Structure 1
Amino acid sequence: MSHVKESIEVDVPVRTAYDQWTQFETFPQFMDGVERIEQRTERLTHWVTSIGGVRREFDAEITEQIPDTKVAWVTVGDEVEQSGLVTFQPIDPSRTQVTLMMDFDPEGMAENVGDKLGFVDRQVKGDLKRFKHFIEERGAATGGWRGQV
C-alpha cells in the first residue's frame, strides 16, 4: 500500500473550498485523468479515469463527511483499492488550507514503477494546483452539499 499527502493554500473562505469539493461531477475540470464522475447517491460516486494509459471504472463510498472540515472515502469492489481524506483548515477568513491524503494499492508493473518514480505524488500536487486555480478564478463554488455522513 502506498501513501500520498499534499497540501495547498487557496485564497477563498473554507466554506467555498469545501462546497466546491463536494461537487464531485466537476472534478474532471481540474483533476487530470478523471474523465467522469457520477454522484449516484449521497454516499456513492462512480468514477471513470484514464491515467498513464490505464482506463478504470470504479465506485467510491463516502465514509465520513463533515461540512467545512473533511470528506473521507473508500473504493468499493475489486477494481481499484484506494482510500482517502481531504481536510479543510481555515487559515483566516479568506484563505483555506486543503490537505489531500490517499492510500492506494498500485497494480501491475507500470503502476508500481510509476508509484516508485513519484508519479502519484506529482499527479495529486498538480490536481490541487488546478483546484486552486479553478476555485480562485470562480471566486464562488458551483454548488455545495452541506449534509453530514
Structure 2
Amino acid sequence: MKTIEESIEIEVPVSTAYNQWTQFESFPRFMDGVERVEQKDATRLHWVADVGGEKREWDAEITEQHPDQRIAWKALGQEGPNGVVTFHRLDDARTKVMVQMDYAPEGMKESVGSVVGLDSHKVKGDLESFKHFIEGRGAETGAWRGDVES
C-alpha cells in the first residue's frame, strides 16, 4: 500500500471548505481525471475516473463524517483508495485541508508513477484546483452537515 499525504491552506471559513467538499458530485470540476461521482445515498459513492489512461470504476463508503472536521472513506473492493480529509480552522477566514489516502498501485505504469511521486503531485494539484474553485466562488455550491459514525 502507498500512502499519500498532502495539505493546503484555503482563504475561506472552515464551514465553506467542508460544505463544498461534501458536494461529491462536483469533484470533476476540480479533480483531474475524475469523470463522474454519483452519490448513491448518504454514505455510498460510485466513482468513474481516468487513472493513467485507463478508465476505472469503483464504489466507496463514507465511514466517518463530522461537520467542519473530517470525512473518511473506504473503497469497496480493491479498485479505489481509502482515506480521510480533515479540515482545520486557522482563523475566521482561513482553513487548512489535509488529505491522507492509501491505495495499491496497479500495473507497471501506476507503480512507476508512484515511485517518482506522480500520485502525490496529482493530489497536490487537485487540492490547488479545489482552492482556486472555492476561493473563486467565495461560497459553496451546497452542503451536507450530517454525521456518519461507523
Please, what TM-score do these two structures have when normalized by structure 2? 0.97
Name the residue aligned to 2:49. 49
Alpha-carbon distance in structure 2 between the residues aligned to 1:77 and 1:109:
21
Aligned CA-pair RMSD: 0.7
Which runs of structure 1 show a deviation greater than 3 angstroms over 4 or more consecutive aligned residues? none
Distance 1:81 1:143, change over 3 A: closer
Give deviations 1:6-26, integer Å, cap 9, x for gaps.
Answer: 000000000000000000000
Match of 2:74, SS? strand
Distance 1:135 1:81, change over 3 A: closer
1:66 CA drift (Å) = 0.3
Gaps of 5+ in 2: none
Give deviations 1:22-79, integer Å, cap 9, x for gaps.
Answer: 000000000000000000010000000002202100001000000000000000024x
Please, what TM-score do these two structures have when normalized by structure 1? 0.98
User: Structure 2 counterpart of 1:76, which letter?
Assistant: L
Identity among equivalent positions (%) equals 57
Q: How many residues align?
A: 148
Q: Residue 60 of structure 2 contacts residue 80 of structure 2 at CA under 8 Å; is this kept in 1?
A: no
Name the residue aligned to 1:61. 61
1:81 CA drift (Å) = 4.4
Alpha-carbon distance in structure 1 between the residues aligned to 2:136 and 2:108:
39
Gaps of 5+ in 1: none
